[in-house]
């Protein structure tokens, strides 16, 4: 097994410990494992010649996400942003430990950390690619569930923020996707209002 496959195995085994599960097309998956695979798939679609560090980051972007609970932070935007910031640092640290174990050098490990921490997002193509892929995973796998939980106004706000995070390749991929009737209507409203 080469280093890349070894790292993927480490990441996947870690994410398979996710206590939450998702059922997709009749099959059940630990949720963080499922989303890591889908993020990796989107990165490959957006960037067929993706460098090794980007592929590694895609499989470990949210590694162990369940270990830091949102409810352990205050409600509201400030609490949410602190949680997201702490999570990103945790993901970067955990992926670094596993990459070291898989035999990667500091150069690659530091590059993966930069991508996971989304440093220089609009200026760094790899970081922007992973942001595009994260938004596309949300739109493909989480969007419809969220529609059931939130008001139309809130959903439009979320869609507009999601759209703003993406660069043109991400937006083009999002427009090419199939949505539920409700999802499609909301997306049109969000983009026309934006």
Over residues 75-87, the pLDDT tens digits come to 988 998 899 899 9
Distance of CA 129 to the CA centre of its chain: 11
pLDDT tens track for 15-62:
999 999 999 999 999 999 999 999 999 999 999 999 999 999 999 999
Q: Which residues, 6 or more positions from 8, have their beta carbon under 8 angstroms from its beta carbon? A: 59
Q: Name the average pLDDT for the chain.
A: 94
Please state the domain extents for the chain: 1-117, 134-194
80-112: pLDDT as tens digits:
889 989 999 999 999 999 999 999 999 999 999
Show Cβ contacts of residue 53 under 8 Å, excluding neighbours closer than 6 positions: 108, 111, 112, 115, 126
Cβ(39)–Cβ(129) below 8 Å: no
State residue 122's pLDDT score: 83
Structure tokens, 144: 């419809």
Contact at 8 Å (CB) between 131 and 137?
no
- Residues 6 or more apart from 68 whose CB is under 8 A from it? 83, 86, 87, 90
Average pLDDT rounded to a whole number, residues 134-145: 94
CA distance 37 to 148: 25
Q: What whole-number distance in Å separates Cα of residue 61 and Cα of residue 4? A: 15
Where are the strands (E) in the chain, listed by range?
21-24, 27-30
């Amino acid at each position: 097994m080469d280093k890349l496959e070894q790292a993927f195995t480490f990441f996947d085994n870690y994410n398979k410990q996710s206590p939450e599960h998702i059922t997709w097309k009749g099959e059940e998956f630990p949720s963080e494992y499922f989303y890591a695979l889908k993020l990796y798939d989107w990165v490959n679609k957006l960037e067929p010649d993706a460098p090794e560090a980007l592929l590694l980051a895609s499989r470990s972007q949210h590694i162990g996400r369940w270990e830091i609970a949102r409810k352990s932070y205050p409600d509201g935007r400030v609490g949410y942003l602190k949680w997201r910031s702490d999570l990103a640092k945790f993901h970067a640290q955990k992926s670094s430990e596993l990459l070291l174990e898989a035999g990667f050098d500091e150069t690659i490990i530091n590059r993966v950390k930069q991508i996971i921490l989304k440093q220089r997002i609009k200026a760094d193509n790899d970081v922007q690619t992973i942001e595009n892929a994260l938004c596309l995973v949300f739109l493909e796998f989480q969007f419809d569930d969220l529609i059931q939980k939130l008001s139309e106004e809130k959903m439009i706000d979320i869609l507009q923020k999601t759209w703003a995070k993406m660069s043109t390749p991400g937006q083009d991929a999002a427009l090419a996707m199939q949505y539920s009737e409700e999802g499609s209507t909301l997306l049109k409203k969000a983009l026309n209002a934006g």
